[in-house]
Amino acid sequence: MADVGDSKACNFHDMELDDRILKAIAKLRWTEPTLIQEKAIPLLLEGKDVLLRARTGSGKTAAFAIPVIQKILNYKQVAKEQVVKALVLAPSKELCQQIHKNFLELTDKCCREVRCVDISPQVDLSSQRPLLIELPDIVIATPSRALAHLKSQNLVLKHSLEFLVIDEADLIFSFGYEDEVKEVISFLPAVYQAILASATLSDDVVNLKKLVLHNPVTLKLEEPELAPASQLTHYHLAAEEDDKAAILYALLKLHLVRGKTIIFVNSVDRCYKLKLYLEQFKIPTCVLNSELPANVRCHSVHQFNQGIYDIIIASDEKALEESYSGPLAGKKSKRKKDKESGVSRGIDFQFVSNVINFDFPLDVHSYVHRAGRTARGNNQGTALSFVSVRERPLMEQVENHLKQGYSDDGSLFKKYEFKMEEVEGFRYRSKDAWRAVTRIAVREARLKEIKQEIFNSEKLKSYFVDNPRDFQVLRHDKALHTVKLQPHLADVPDYLVPHSLKRLAGVSNKRKRPFSRGTTGNISKTKARYEAKRNNPLLSMEFSGFKKKKKS
- What confidence tens digit (pLDDT) does each residue in 264-307 have? 999 999 999 999 999 999 999 988 887 777 667 777 887 888 88
d(CA 380, CA 6): 27
Alpha-carbon distance of 216 to 46, in angstroms, equals 12
Per mean pLDDT, which range of 63-77, 204-218, 382-396, 451-465 is the poorest?
A: 451-465
Confidence band for 477, pLDDT divided at 50, 70 and 90:
low
Model pLDDT, residue 480: 65
Per-residue pLDDT at 326: 40
3-class secondary structure, 164:
strand
Q: At what angle do helices 203-212 and 178-186 cross, to 10 degrees?
A: 10
Most confident of 8-12, 32-36, 357-361: 357-361
Please report the pLDDT score of residue 319 as a whole number. 40
Q: Which domains does the chain have, with CATH numbers?
A: 2-73+80-220 (3.40.50.300), 232-320+335-501 (3.40.50.300)
Q: Give CA–CA dist 457/471, Å, rounded.
A: 10
Most confident segment among 84-88, 124-128, 311-315: 84-88
pLDDT at 133: 94
Burial 486-499 (b: 16+ CB within 10 A, else e): eeeeeebeeebbbe
- 498 phi and psi angles, rounded to 5 deg: -55, 145
The residue among 53, 46, 42, 48 whose CA lies nearest residue 1 is: 48
Least confident of 25-39, 101-115, 487-501, 538-552: 538-552
- Per-residue DSSP letters for 198-234? ESS--HHHHHHHHHH-SS-EEEE-SS-SS--TTTEEE
Name the residue among 375, 266, 249 with its Cα closest to residue 314: 266
CA pair distance 197, 195, nearest whole angstrom: 7
When mean pLDDT is compared across 321-325, 372-376, 462-466, the lowest value belongs to 321-325
If pLDDT is split at 50, 70 and 90, which confidence band does 2 have? very low
Q: Mean pLDDT across the stretch 139-167?
A: 95
Does the pLDDT of residue 471 top 80, yes or no?
Answer: no
Query: What percent of the chain stands above pLDDT 90?
Result: 42
pLDDT-based confidence at residue 222 (cuts at 50, 70, 90): low
Question: What are the angstrom distances between the C-alpha of 84 and each of 99, 140, 257, 362, 509?
Answer: 17, 11, 48, 41, 68
CB within 8 Å of 318: residues ≥ 6 apart: 266, 324, 326, 361, 362, 363, 366
* Mean pLDDT score, 333-360: 70
* CA neighbor of 48 nearest in space, from 4, 97, 91, 82: 4
pTM over 0.85: no
Q: Where is average pLDDT lowest: 98-102, 258-262, 314-318?
A: 314-318
Distance in angstroms (rounded) separating the CA atoms of residues 398 and 410: 14
- Cβ atoms < 10 Å from Cβ of 269: 19
